[in-house]
Structure 1
Amino acid sequence: MNTFEELLARWRDAEASGDGAAALLAADFRGDGPDGLVLDRDHWPGRAPAAAFRWTHLRVTASVGVATGRRDGAGCTVVAAVREGRWLIVNVQRGS
């Protein structure tokens, strides 16, 4: 993946199909969910309901990207970074 936007699209599709999302997450990934739930990379994929993301704000530099928006009526923020030449998701935060 060459861009943050490509990573977001692949992650959305992988989450919706329940297949391959872990490969898009950094080894030190942290998923923060409602009520203080915290999951690592091995426990995150497939946890989120499959629904369309509606991004309301994207901010991208050469090495970090942040997307905020809504998913299933809840706020969602995705943070990614370039690691060893490829974009990987390092954090997802979902509101209740």
Structure 2
Amino acid sequence: METFEELLARWRDADAGGDTGALQPLLADGFRGDGPAGRVLGKADWPGRPPSAAFRWTRLEVTPGVGVASGHRDGVACTVVAENRDGRWRIVNVQRGS
């Protein structure tokens, strides 16, 4: 079974490379990416641009059903929220600060 940490590592690598094909199965159908200045991207539009650096988490909280990782990407605060549904972890939200 995939863990939240494994999901984060796969997302980090795919997101840093702008690999939309690898990202799609990692994102929940209702995925929402919230960015600076109110920019919102859905699953089909993520990533909006390849980041210059990979996400590095500094805080990780995991329950059986929800995982939250906070850290930095491109020098900006970033939070990733995922759910574990039917034994599969999927990212439901990414929030980037300004």
TM over 0.5, yes or no? yes
How many pairs does the alignment contain?
Answer: 96
Question: What's 1:65 paired with?
Answer: 67
Structure 2: how far apart are the matches of 1:53 and 1:18? 13
Q: Which of 42, 56, 59 lines up with 2:58 in the alignment?
A: 56
TM-score relative to the length of structure 1: 0.92
Question: What's 1:25 paired with?
Answer: 27
Q: How many angstroms does 1:84 deviate by?
A: 2.7
Amino acid at match of 1:13: D
Q: CA RMSD in A?
A: 1.3
Q: Where does structure 2 lack aligned partners over 5 or more consecutive residues?
A: none
Q: Where does structure 1 lack aligned partners over 5 or more consecutive residues?
A: none
Q: How many angstroms does 1:22 deviate by?
A: 1.5
SS of the residue 2:45 aligns to: coil
Question: What's 1:43 paired with?
Answer: 45
Structure 2: how far apart are the matches of 1:25 and 1:94? 16
Question: What's 1:8 paired with?
Answer: 8
SS of the residue 1:42 aligns to: helix
Question: What's 1:93 paired with?
Answer: 95
User: Moved runs in structure 1, 4+ residues, more than 4 A?
Assistant: none
Q: How many angstroms does 1:11 deviate by?
A: 0.3
Structure 1: how far apart are the matches of 2:63 and 2:4? 9
Structure 2: how far apart are the matches of 1:48 and 1:83? 28
TM-score relative to the length of structure 2: 0.90
Identity %: 70
Larger fraction in helix: 2
